[in-house]
């Protein structure tokens, strides 16, 4: 239904990684769930519009004026690592990628 | 004071007559929570400023009906200066710098946020067992689940820690735990309540609602939290009625539809007995009850788990360890920071949903899963609205069984997902829906589900109120709490 390679591919897309033994149990669990979900193929949906959103989806306008919300300091309060009021993260470009 | 025997109105009267102060109510609630926590675990964080907030209310004078009333808030609703975790390790230390609109409205009405209740991680679950902070226990039997995902809110109300609590409902997360704990709970129409500041799970399905022992208390709270919000463009501009003042238990001429598919195979016989008895009570009160059919209901769980997981996989991309929450240590580069923070920070059920959703949205699967599910959703919405053209309300059981044992389904995601079959329909169609206590099965509470037309919350409240006044279930003391006091 869904192979180990597919699971590993989806994990890469989702920015997740699994231990080897976890992958095996995920393959079997997701296989069962996707199998259940595949039953939808039996429903005839020819010409049916999909419903992706609920509620009023009209554009909403407001006056073009600034609203004071949080300060920079407040927005940085939850950041795990900061430096000089900036968010600090590890290397973005790997050395190998430079070549 | 035994909060289980009080209502918002009775507490309000005591406050106005100065028989009790808001500060007393807040400190009593906190004492009760602290005393109960070991056996119930309904709260993740208690608001240690609650008595201080209540003191201010006392000083300013008691005003509206919620003035000085302690209310519990599900911990996926952000509260300025009070830790908000969504029961996830990835937000274990998150301190919001603003409050959700629903909280601002409650606070403007003078309500006291007494603390943050436990839930399944990111509201993904039906038992509160996926919480990073441990499972909550059912007030009727400590060995059973309280339901989920708003299990903490349900248990907090059922034990009398608070008179009312906010929950959220994406596929039944208010109604199922309300049913399991013998209380009332309502998920309003999609768009009735602002979702600003509610930690997103599935944005086309999520809705904030209220849980309380008495129908009238949820009616009071919903009138306060509902309404348009500039911060949520899906919130409706429709006027908000005073649901409490308009409560009317006259059921004469009310047309009730009961979908035969709600009588799901495997439904506990005593659940059916309780629901059938409630339907007889409505007939006796002058309502008509007819059987109808929702043929596509059998696909509702499939549609829901594709759409909800897809939306979740997109919504949860924001948790990457960069700006807030848990950050993995010893990483070599930014990619590893993302992957390790997410893999160490999310629990198994959340990862499962993210994987399912990412799969359903991926090239090659998109048309067959995501788009297909969205199309079947349209068919299902049409079936529901056709029934509601001829009927005022749709009724049936809220759950197929009473509360199950802790640990019974936790390793079987499919069995856990099937739990939601009766509550998912109202979310897929965006309709208002409630669970009201109907009786007992196996000594555990059973909920009758009541679904209304869009924005007809009043009809739902009225029908629930009529049954409540008939069966007076609120007089029952949860079994596990007997012998207290």
Going by pLDDT thresholds of 50, 70 and 90, the confidence category of residue A57 is low
Q: Is residue A68 part of a domain?
A: no
Report the chain A residue with the minimal C-alpha distance to residue B375: A50
Instruction: Please give the pLDDT value at position A22.
Output: 86
Instruction: Please give the pLDDT value at position A28.
Output: 87
Active site residue ranges of B: 74, 149, 173
SS3 A33: helix
Percent of residues, chain A, with pLDDT higher than 70: 90
Candidates B391, B359, B379; CA nearest to B463 is B391
DSSP category for residue B405? B
Going by pLDDT thresholds of 50, 70 and 90, the confidence category of residue A98 is very low
Q: Assess A85–B contact: CB distance below 8 Å, yes or no.
A: no
CATH of the domain at A12: 1.10.20
Q: Assess A19–B contact: CB distance below 8 Å, yes or no.
A: no
Q: How far apart are CA B157 and CA B72, in angstroms?
A: 9
Residues of chain B found within 8 Å of residue A2, distances taken between Cβ atoms: 359
Compare CB distances from B97 to A2, A7, A70 and report the shortest one's residue: A70
Q: Assess A1–B contact: CB distance below 8 Å, yes or no.
A: no
pLDDT in tens, B417-432: 888 899 999 999 999 9
CB contact under 8 A, A2 and B359: yes
Would strands B208-212 and B164-168 be described as parallel, antiparallel, or unpaired?
antiparallel
Report the chain B residue with the minimal C-alpha distance to residue A3: B359
Q: Is residue A75 part of a domain?
A: no
Q: How far apart are CA A24 and CA A36, in angstroms?
A: 19
> Is the Cα torsion angle A62, A67, A72, A75 positive or negative in sign?
negative
Instruction: Please give the pLDDT value at position B485.
Output: 54
Q: Domain residues for A27?
A: 4-41
Report the chain A residue with the minimal C-alpha distance to residue B319: A15
Going by pLDDT thresholds of 50, 70 and 90, the confidence category of residue A91 is confident
Read off the pTM. 0.97
Q: How far apart are CA B199 and CA B168, in angstroms?
A: 10
Compare CB distances from A13 to B356, B358, B374 and report the shortest one's residue: B358
Going by pLDDT thresholds of 50, 70 and 90, the confidence category of residue A99 is very low
Going by pLDDT thresholds of 50, 70 and 90, the confidence category of residue A56 is low
Q: Assess A26–B contact: CB distance below 8 Å, yes or no.
A: yes
CB contact under 8 A, A45 and B375: yes
Q: Assess A40–B contact: CB distance below 8 Å, yes or no.
A: yes
Q: Report residues of chain B scoring pLDDT below 70.
A: 484-485
CB contact under 8 A, B234 and A55: yes
Q: Is residue A98 part of a domain?
A: no
ipTM: 0.92
Q: How far apart are CA B270 and CA B137, in angstroms?
A: 22
Q: What total of structural domains would you count in chain A?
A: 1
Architecture of the domain whose range is B3-258+389-481: Alpha-Beta Complex (3.90)
Q: Is residue A71 part of a domain?
A: no
Going by pLDDT thresholds of 50, 70 and 90, the confidence category of residue A68 is confident
């Amino acid at each position: 239904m869904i192979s180990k390679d597919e699971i590993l591919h989806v994990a890469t897309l989702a920015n997740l990684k699994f231990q080897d033994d976890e992958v095996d149990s995920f393959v079997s669990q997701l296989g069962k769930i996707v199998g259940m979900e595949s039953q939808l193929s039996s429903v005839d949906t020819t010409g049916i519009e999909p419903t992706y959103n609920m509620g009023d989806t009209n554009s909403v306008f407001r006056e073009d004026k600034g609203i004071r919300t949080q300060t920079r300091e407040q927005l940085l309060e939850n950041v795990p690592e900061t430096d000089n009021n900036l968010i600090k993260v590890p290397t973005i470009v790997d050395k190998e990628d430079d070549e | 004071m035994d909060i289980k025997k009080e209502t918002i109105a009775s507490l309000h009267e005591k406050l106005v007559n100065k028989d009790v102060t808001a500060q007393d109510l807040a400190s009593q609630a906190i004492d009760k929570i602290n005393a109960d926590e070991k056996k119930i675990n309904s709260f993740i964080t208690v608001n240690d400023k609650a008595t201080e907030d209540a003191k201010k209310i006392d000083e300013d004078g008691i005003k509206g009906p919620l003035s000085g009333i302690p209310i519990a808030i599900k911990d996926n609703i952000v509260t300025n200066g009070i830790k908000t975790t969504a029961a996830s390790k990835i937000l274990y230390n998150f301190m919001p710098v603003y409050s959700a609109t629903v909280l601002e409205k409650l606070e403007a009405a003078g309500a006291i946020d007494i603390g943050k209740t436990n839930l399944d991680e990111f509201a993904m679950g039906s038992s509160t067992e996926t919480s990073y902070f441990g499972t909550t226990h059912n007030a009727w039997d400590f060995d059973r689940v309280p339901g989920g995902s708003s299990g903490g809110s349900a248990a907090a109300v059922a034990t009398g820690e608070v008179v009312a609590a906010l929950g959220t409902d994406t596929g039944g997360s208010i109604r199922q735990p309300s049913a399991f704990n013998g209380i009332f709970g309502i998920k309003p129409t999609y768009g009735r309540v602002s979702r600003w500041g509610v930690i997103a799970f599935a944005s086309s399905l999520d809705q904030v609602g209220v849980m309380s022992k008495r129908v009238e208390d949820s009616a009071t709270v919903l009138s306060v939290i509902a309404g348009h919000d500039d911060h949520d463009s899906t919130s409706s501009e429709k006027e908000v009625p005073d649901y409490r003042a308009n409560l009317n238990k006259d059921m004469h001429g009310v047309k009730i539809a009961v979908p035969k598919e709600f009588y799901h195979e495997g439904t506990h016989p005593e659940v059916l007995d309780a629901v059938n008895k409630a339907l007889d009570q409505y007939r006796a009160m002058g309502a008509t009850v007819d059987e109808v059919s929702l043929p596509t209901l059998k696909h509702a769980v499939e549609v829901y788990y594709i759409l909800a997981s897809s939306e979740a996989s997109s919504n949860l991309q924001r948790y990457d360890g960069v700006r807030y929450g848990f950050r993995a240590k010893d990483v070599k580069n930014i990619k590893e920071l993302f992957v390790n923070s997410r893999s160490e920070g999310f629990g198994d059920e959340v990862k499962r949903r993210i994987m399912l959703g990412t799969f359903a949205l991926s090239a090659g699967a998109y048309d067959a899963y995501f788009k297909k599910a969205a199309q079947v959703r349209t068919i299902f919405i049409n079936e529901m609205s056709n029934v509601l053209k001829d009927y005022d309300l749709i009724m049936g059981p809220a759950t197929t069984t009473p509360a199950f044992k802790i640990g019974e389904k936790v390793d079987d995601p499919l069995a856990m997902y099937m739990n939601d079959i009766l509550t998912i329909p109202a979310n897929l169609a965006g309709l208002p829906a409630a669970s009201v206590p109907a009786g007992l099965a196996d000594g555990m509470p059973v909920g009758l589900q009541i679904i209304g037309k869009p924005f007809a919350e009043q009809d739902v409240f009225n029908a629930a109120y009529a049954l409540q006044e008939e069966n007076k279930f609120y007089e029952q003391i949860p079994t596990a709490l007997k012998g207290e006091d």
